[in-house]
Structure 1
Amino acid sequence: MTRRTVPGALLALTLSLAACGGGEEEATPPAAAEVAEEVSTDLSEAPDVPPTDAPAPDELVVEDVVVGDGEEAVDGTSVAVKYVGAFYETGEEFDSSWSRGADDTLPVTLGAGQVIPGFDQGITGMQVGGRRVVTIPSELGYGEADSGPIPGGSTLVFVIDLVEVSG
């Protein structure tokens, strides 16, 4: 799993460019960082997931947009999250707690298998008040089978806001 803050991803990109001599060629930024850089830091508004033509990652990628300062979400704790789920390539939303109201949250007990593995793993380590972009390859999502509006083999992006941690 790759875990970075957006500024850390920018630093990694800058170092990569410097190592390559910073020539005329334009480097492709890390795929998830490209998505995370476009996500709003305003936790009072539903975030949009931008489309990208960067290659989809083959592992879970976690990018903090806003680092929270509250209690940390760990396995076994119950959390309440707001989220937007979208397709990696198009940014087209397929589900969102925000569409059910600004105060609607999803309760999840981490490690209990209540949600797809990538979503569960993407929340772990967040702190209350944080916003995170989690890019989930199909193996940690719904796999090769279609699931409702999600075609098999889909790479998914979730923007997750951690609202509460208990237990």
Structure 2
Amino acid sequence: MTFKPSFSAASVAVLVAVLSLAGCGGGGGDSSSGTTAVANPAQFSATDVVLGTGTEAASGKTATVTYTGWLYSDTATDHKGTQFDAGTFTFTLGQNQVIAGFEQGVLGMKVGGKRTLLIPSSLGYGATANGAIPANSGLVFDVALTAVQ
């Protein structure tokens, strides 16, 4: 989803719908019971994979990112469990348009930078399930900052 300066109510609705549809599964070949083990990182962390050199993401600025999101797993490589979403996303920092952990992770990045975020459920969706994301789930995001305006 590539949007210009800020999120409208309609674009938020589209994002929620996309995240909800991600959990539908499409009748794939997994014959398990459908339950997902819920796990959380001990605390929030943001690890720079590539340091950017462009404009810094700051409160009040509009950031465009590409991202991939996974459910946090205690046992998976890099803690990346089931992937639940990926895409391009534009939002205004400081406007509560994204979960707290995602905003915290993007703040301070510079264009061209890449980070891996480990987000405990308290900074994610908390006790509320959201589409493919079960309640109380920790999240992992790989984020690349592509623009700041």
Q: TM-score range by the shorter chain?
A: 0.5 to 0.7
Partner of 1:80: 64
2:57 partner letter: A
Match of 1:70 among 38, 51, 54: 54
Unaligned runs of 5+ in 2: 1-38
Match of 2:101 among 118, 127, 137: 118
- Over aligned residues, Cα RMSD in angstroms? 1.2
Given that residues 70 and 141 in structure 2 are in contact (C-alpha distance below 8 angstroms), is that contact kept between their aligned partners in structure 1? Answer: yes
Deviation track 1:124-147 (CA, whole Å, cap 9, x = no partner) reads 000000000011000000001111
Partner of 1:52: none
Percentage identity across paired residues of the two chains:
46
Partner of 1:60: 44
1:59 to partner: Cα distance: 2.1
Partner of 2:144: 161
How many equivalent residue pairs? 105
1:57 to partner: Cα distance: 2.6
Unaligned runs of 5+ in 1: 1-54, 98-104
Deviation track 1:23-52 (CA, whole Å, cap 9, x = no partner) reads xxxxxxxxxxxxxxxxxxxxxxxxxxxxxx
Quote the Cα distance in structure 1 between the aligned partners of 2:60 and 2:104: 12
Partner of 2:9: none
Partner of 2:122: 139
Moved over 4 A (4+): none
2:44 partner letter: L
1:56 to partner: Cα distance: 4.1
Given that residues 64 and 145 in structure 2 are in contact (C-alpha distance below 8 angstroms), is that contact kept between their aligned partners in structure 1? Answer: yes
Q: Which has the higher contact order (CA 8 A, sep 6+)?
A: 2
TM-score (norm 2): 0.68
1:165 to partner: Cα distance: 0.3
Partner of 1:127: 110
Quote the Cα distance in structure 2 between the aligned partners of 1:62 and 1:138: 15
Quote the Cα distance in structure 2 between the aligned partners of 1:112 and 1:106: 15
Larger Rg, first or second structure (1 or 2): 1
Partner of 1:41: none
